[in-house]
Each structure stands twice: as C-alpha cells, then as structure tokens.
C-alpha cells in the first residue's frame, strides 16, 4: 500500500471499496488471515450474541483504526504498541459500558468476551499492518471491512451451530416438533467449541475450493 | 527520533484524556446500568417464586403485583423494617447490598438481611436472596419457600463467570427445577439445608433424598459453591424462621 498522496481521492474510489469488500472473501480475517479464532469459537453458539459481538468488534476496529491513523505521525515509535493498546482498551470499555446500559441481556451473554476484544488479534493486526501507514479514511474503511468479514463468518458459524445444536434461530424454534416426534434430536456437540472449530475448518475448505488464488503452492 | 521528554509528555496526555473519557462515560451511563441490575434482581426473585413468565420488560409490573411485603431483619431475626407500599423497588430491603451484609457477617460486624414475601394463587411465599462463591467468581440467587419454611417452591441461580456448559449450567432451568419440592428441614424440624450430591441423589439413603439434588457433572467446585451458599445463607435466616414457623 502506498502512503501519502498529494492528489485527493474520491471517498468511495475503487481502491477504497476494495478495502471494504476484500475482507469479506479474499482477505477474510478469520479464514485467510487466521486472526480472532478464539472469540469466534466462544460466541457462536447462538445468532444474537454473534451479531452483537460482530457489531462491537466492528465499532472497535473502525474507530481504533481511525484514531491511530490520525495520530500515526505523532506516536513515538518506541511506545506505539502501548499507545495502540490504550486506545483500543478505552474503546472496548466504552462499548462494554454501553452494552451494559442498553442491551443488558446481550451483555450478560457476552460477559467476558467483550473485554477480550482488547486482545483480539484482528484489532492489533490491522492497527500495525494498516492504520500506522495509511490515512484516516482508508483506515476507517479497513476497520469496517475487517469487522464485516469477521461478522460474516461469525454469523455463518452461528447459523449452523444454533440450527443444528438447539433447533432454533434467534431463539425461535425452526425445526418443527413433528421432526422431534419422529426421533430427531439436537446435536449437543454443536453447542461445544470443538464443533465451532470444525465448522470454521469446513468453511475454509469450501472457500479455498472456490478461490484457487488462496491455495498455497 | 523522539526525545524522552516528548515520549513522557505524550504518554501522560494520552492517559489523562483516556481516564477523563472513561470517567465521564461511567458517570453518564450509571443510572441506566443500575436500572438494569435492579430489573435483573426482580426477575431473579420472581423466577424463584415460579413466576416463570418474568422477563426484562415485564419484571417491574409483575414484581409490584406479586410481592406484598419486604422485610429487613437483624441477625437475631427481629424485623427492623416492614415495607408494603408501591413501588416495591423503593423498599429498604430491596436496596440492601447482600454482598456487603454477608461480608459484615463474616467479619463479625452487625449486619442486616432482606426477606421478600410474595402472594401467588392465594399462597404466601417467602423468598430468601443468596450470594456465594463459585469456582471463578461470585454466584447468587434466590430460594422461595412455603409459608412453613419447609418445602422449596423454586430456586434461581446466576453466575458471572462459571465455565459455560459445566458450572454455568446452574443458571439453567434444568438444574434449578430439581430443587422444587425438596425440603430444608427434616421431620424433627432440624435444619438440613439442601445438598448438591455428586453422583446423584440415588447415592443417598432414602430418607435423605428429599434434601438433595443431582450435581452437575464436571462442575464439582461450582456445586460445592452452591452447597456452601445455601447452607450459609439459610443458616443466617434460622432465627427468623424459628420464630415464625
């Protein structure tokens, strides 16, 4: 990525659009960059916490990217990781406090995982790899894009885990009672973290099958 | 290269700005957060009394409907305050911080205890709030008893950070429903509490099965925490119970 440019770029130039859409597929933070796996296993038992977690992470990556990018020329290189951590922690605590104030039941389900956003590798990874070397607007888009890519995967995993593990989606029963009467049972394994890892593995497999560019030589 | 002076000034300003922002957010959001905690407390009390339809949006009206009296007790079981007015959440009993009171008790300092009395289907229900320690952090809940304080109508447990799928299961209805119909006194009126039994109630002699529930597999320490919480808290209420049985 080139850094400073003198001519002004359009707000949604093709390059910027790519920042948003790249992480959805070819540069997905979970399946391609293999970052943020731990939280993806923990919060994907049900759809609702997965979506809230994805939104929370998107807000934090976008705004920490934006802030760090604004400050990037003034941050002393020797303490840059500390500065990044302070910015990320402030944002995470703010998100946590807002969740506790306005969506209490979700905040209870996410409990420790919101605090763990601080250590989510996606955020530090994007700060170091992108925001420290790019202008605020592209950095912001990069944050949103990576948040979306993370969220997309979380939602796919949560969809299968909730459907097969609990027979519900967003808490509503979708597998009809008649099927249970006929002997169908929910798969308890889907609720446990190992099946989340296997689900992610299957998604990586499918994705690489369709995108030959991702296959290492 | 930046000078040391620049680095220190930069760090100092950054930290001060961060601290100011966080304090401001904490101050502004506190009323909303406390509201949520109060609603959660009401939901717990109602759930233990088997008002199972209670949720975050209807907890306040249901609490006002079912709770008829809220008492503050001293350690000898004397009633310090009786509150019957509405809204019920303004009662001194509801505002007591059980964690602090139980800490005072453990430090041999004076303490107070809250007790809720509900009226449901013409029956009087006594609800005792509880608090204790699980494996990783605090656990809490409520136990609802019949008017003779013997039989359990229902319980409610919740936790902060017990292992999901293992100790965290204490917060699920499946575990809590096991307590329904158990008794905390034996036939001679001696206090027995209710024990969470490893390996299942079936291991106990038949006469004691009414005082036990099946433990959760893989959650021995959380189960011990539930045992201790039940015994410690119910013991504190024994003077009151003996006077009013």
C-alpha to C-alpha distance for B171 and B160, rounded to whole angstroms: 10
Record the tokens describing residue A66, joined without a space.
Answer: 């934006």
* β-pairing verdict for B212-214 and B195-197: parallel
Q: What is the mean pLDDT of chain A?
A: 83
Nearest chain A CA: its distance from B176 CA (Å)? 19
Q: What pLDDT is stored for residue A16 in this prediction?
A: 80
Q: Which residues of A104-124 are buried (b: 16+ CB within 10 A; e: fewer)?
A: bebbbbbbebbebbbebebbb
Q: What pLDDT is stored for residue A8 in this prediction?
A: 61
Are the Cβ atoms of B33 and A100 closer than 8 angstroms? Answer: yes
Task: Give residue-wise pLDDT tens across range A94-152.
Answer: 988 988 898 888 787 776 678 778 777 888 888 888 888 888 999 999 999 988 988 88
pLDDT band, very low/low/confident/very high, at B52 (cuts 50, 70, 90): confident
Task: Give residue-wise pLDDT tens across range B167-226.
Answer: 888 988 889 999 999 999 888 888 888 989 888 888 888 888 889 999 887 888 999 999
Helix H or strand E encompassing A169: strand A168-169
Taking 60 as the threshold, does the pLDDT of residue B62 lie above it? yes
Find chain A residues with C-beta within 8 A of B161's C-beta. 111-112
In order, the DSSP letters of B109-177 are ----EEEEEEEETTEEEEEEEEEEE-SSSEEEEEEEE-TTS-BEEEEEEEESSPPTTTGGGGGSHHHHG
Are the Cβ atoms of B22 and A192 closer than 8 angstroms? Answer: no
Record the tokens describing residue A52, joined without a space.
Answer: 């809230």
Q: What distances in angstroms separate CA B185 from CA A173, B113, B208, one per listed residue?
A: 41, 21, 11
Nearest chain B CA: its distance from A143 CA (Å)? 21
Q: What pLDDT is stored for residue B29 in this prediction?
A: 94
Cβ-Cβ contacts under 8 Å for B138 (sequence gap 6 or more): B99, B131, B132, B159, B160
* A73 in contact with B, Cβ within 8 Å: no
Q: Which of B7, B21, B33 sits opposite A90 (nearest CB)?
A: B21
Q: What pLDDT is stored for residue A1 in this prediction?
A: 43
């Amino acid at each position: 990525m080139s850094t400073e440019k003198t001519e002004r770029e359009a707000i949604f130039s093709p390059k910027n659009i790519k920042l948003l859409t790249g992480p959805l597929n070819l540069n997905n933070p979970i399946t391609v960059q293999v970052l943020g796996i731990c939280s993806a296993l923990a919060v994907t038992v049900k759809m609702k916490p997965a979506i809230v977690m994805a939104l929370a992470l998107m807000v934090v990556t976008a705004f920490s990217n934006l802030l760090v990018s604004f400050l990037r020329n003034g941050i002393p290189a020797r303490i840059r990781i500390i500065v990044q951590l302070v910015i990320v922690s402030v944002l995470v605590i703010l998100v946590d406090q807002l969740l506790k104030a306005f969506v209490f039941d979700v905040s209870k389900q996410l409990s420790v995982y919101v605090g763990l956003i601080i250590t989510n590798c996606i955020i530090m990874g994007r700060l170091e790899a992108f925001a420290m070397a790019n202008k605020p607007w592209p950095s912001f888009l990069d944050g949103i894009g990576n948040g979306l890519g993370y969220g997309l995967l979380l939602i796919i995993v949560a969809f299968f885990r909730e459907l097969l593990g609990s027979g519900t989606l967003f808490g509503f029963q979708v597998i009809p009672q008649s099927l249970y009467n006929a002997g169908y049972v929910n798969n308890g394994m889907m609720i446990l973290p190992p099946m989340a890892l296997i689900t992610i593995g299957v998604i990586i497999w499918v994705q690489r099958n369709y995108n030959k560019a991702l296959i290492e030589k | 290269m930046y000078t040391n002076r620049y680095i220190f000034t930069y760090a100092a300003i950054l930290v001060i700005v961060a601290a100011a922002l966080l304090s401001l957010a904490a101050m502004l959001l506190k009323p909303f957060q406390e509201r949520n905690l109060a609603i959660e407390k009401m939901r717990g009390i109602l759930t233990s009394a088997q008002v199972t339809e209670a949720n975050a949006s209807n907890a306040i009206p249901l609490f006002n409907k079912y709770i008829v009296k809220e008492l503050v007790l001293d350690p000898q079981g004397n009633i310090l305050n009786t509150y019957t007015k509405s809204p019920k959440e303004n009662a001194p009993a509801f505002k007591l911080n059980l964690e602090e009171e139980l800490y005072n008790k453990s430090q041999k300092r004076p303490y107070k205890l809250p007790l809720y009395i509900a009226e449901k289907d013409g029956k009087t229900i006594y609800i005792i709030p509880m608090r204790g320690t699980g494996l990783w952090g605090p656990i809490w809940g409520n136990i609802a008893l019949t008017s003779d304080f013997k039989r359990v109508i229902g319980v409610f447990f919740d936790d902060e950070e017990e292992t999901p799928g293992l100790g965290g299961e204490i917060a699920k209805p499946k575990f809590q429903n096991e307590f329904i119909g158990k008794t905390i006194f034996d036939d001679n009126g001696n206090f027995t509490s209710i024990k969470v039994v490893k390996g299942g109630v079936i291991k106990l002699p038949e006469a004691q099965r009414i005082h036990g529930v099946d433990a959760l597999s893989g959650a021995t320490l959380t189960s011990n925490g539930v045992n201790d919480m039940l015994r410690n808290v119910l013991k504190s209420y024994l003077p009151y119970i003996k006077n009013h049985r």
